[in-house]
Amino acid sequence: MATRLGEKLYELRKKRVFTLDKLAELSGLSKSYIWELENKESQRPSAEKLTALADVLGVSASYFIEEDVRQPEERHLDEAFFRNYQKLEPDSKQQLRKILDTFKKKP
């Protein structure tokens, strides 16, 4: 699993079988800039541009943004869990929240 932005972008783009041109067209960014995001270090792209790319590539913007200390596997589980949680009825959510409280870490 990719760790820095450029790798994540490249990986996703290849997975979707997009060319730079195609991704540029779909996201509204220029292909030259996408290329720079993939290949140059220390870019500081706007949240807006990242979100546009994330939308097209089918991930959340935070996937690009947040560097994470969790192992990819665990992170993946966590995100899937949260996606499922969000789809629940409010009642079920509340029940889960209560259950979570009882689990809270004891240091």
| Residue ranges that bind a second copy, judged by CB under 8 A | 44-48, 50-51, 60-62, 64-66, 70, 74, 77-78, 81-82, 84-90, 92-93, 95-97, 99-100, 103-106
> Using CB distances below 5 to 8 A depending on partner kind, what does residue 32 bind out of DNA, a second copy, none?
DNA
Q: How many CB atoms lie within 10 A of CB 88?
A: 12
64 near 8, Cβ under 8 Å?
yes
Using an 8 Å Cβ cutoff, are 12 and 57 in contact?
yes
The pair phi, psi for residue 95, each rounded to 5°, is: -60, -45
Considering only residues 5 through 24, tell me which ones interact with DNA, judged by CB under 7 A: 19-22
If one counts every other C-beta atom within 10 angstroms of the C-beta of residue 28, the result is 13
Residue 86 site contact among DNA, a second copy, none (CB < 5 to 8 Å, cut-off depends on kind): a second copy
Among 6, 11, 26, 35, binds DNA (CB under 7 A): 35
And the tokens for 73?
A: 């596997």
Nearer to DNA, 47 or 100 (CB): 47
